[in-house]
Amino acid sequence: MNDNRPFYELPLSYPKSDNQEVQVRRDIAYLEEDDPVARMDIYLPPGDASQGGHRPLLFLHGGPLPPPGEERPWPKEWRVFQDYGRLAAANGLAGVVINHRYTGYEGLVQAMSDVQQAQQFLEQQGARFGVNGDKLAVWAVSGAGMLLSALLRQEMNTPACLVALYPMLDLTHIPQAADVYSDDQLMALSPLSHIETIPNTLPMFLARAGLDLPGLNRALDTFVKQALYHNLDLELRNLPQAAHGFDMFDDAPAVQESIKRGLDFALYQLAADR
């Protein structure tokens, strides 16, 4: 895909819904303590909400991402995440896009808390916005893979499923993170170190960018190997010719098929009778 627009203006690499009747509830504060950054947008299907509300698909942007300058907006304003929200709504879900505060490696723990509070907000207050937060799916991209462990702690309701595209799953090979955390902390924060705590009832769909950075893929490959060893519910889609960020930068048929598979995966797991 050749496109000279800034990356935050690039659309999702998938045929999207232009249905203008999609309802968008914008700039909803979701933290217990109000913060101008931590806001969510909720994209709802046209018409009245189904009985009990729509099931949410929570989209998590990557990081660490420095605060935006005068031109670059926060991720929920990026075209790709707006398209993700509309895609979810066009398929009968509540597409939920949040800004979290993973603005540097030192903010990882805070961002994990943000994600937990976003889930709790949807569970406890989602009905106000036409959302049934009793059961949600999570879609993470890139550095948001590091946030997934926050949703697997015992005090949280386990998501219906996880979808992750080209995710970062290990901090131990990142020199900048080593400047912030001890070796033990790097291990404790990395999802790769917690395979044994992931329930085998949690369905996961991972899409691997074959041309991604070797360190990222090495961690992903190790995660997959260990997940299979522990007999976890895992589906892997490998894209040999795709690079990091393929859902924005690559509209090849294999990329579109992987996005479609991720969406179908979430729809199946969120089905009301499951």
pLDDT band at 33 (very low <50, low <70, confident <90, very high): confident
- The Cα–Cα gap between 231 and 33 comes to 40
Which amino acid, 50?
A: S
- At 72 the pLDDT is 87
Tell me: pLDDT of 172 over 60. yes
Q: Using one digit for the tens of pLDDT, what is the confidence trace for 201-220?
A: 999 999 999 999 999 999 99
pLDDT at 70 over 70: no
* Predicted confidence (pLDDT) at residue 69 exceeds the cutoff of 90: no
pLDDT in the model for residue 125? 96
Mean pLDDT for the chain overall: 92
Confirm whether pTM is higher than 0.75: yes
Whether the predicted pLDDT of 75 surpasses 90: yes
| Separation CA 17–CA 173 (nearest Å) | 39
pLDDT score for 15: 83
Chain centroid to CA 137: 9
Is there a contact between 57 and 88 (Cβ–Cβ < 8 Å)? Answer: yes
Burial 20-57 (b: 16+ CB within 10 A, else e): eebeebeebebbeeeeeebbbbbbbbeeebeeebbbbb
Determine phi and psi for 47, rounding to 5 degrees: 85, -175
What are the backbone angles phi and psi of residue 94, rounded to the nearest 5°?
Answer: -95, 110
Proportion of the chain above pLDDT 90, given as a percent? 81
pLDDT tens for each residue of 184-206: 999 999 999 989 889 999 999 99
Asked whether the predicted pLDDT for residue 40 surpasses 90, the reply is yes
Predicted local distance difference test score (pLDDT) of residue 41: 98
What pLDDT was estimated at residue 20?
Answer: 67
Environment class of residue 271 by beta-carbon count within 10 Å: exposed (0-12), middle (13-18) or buried (19+)? exposed
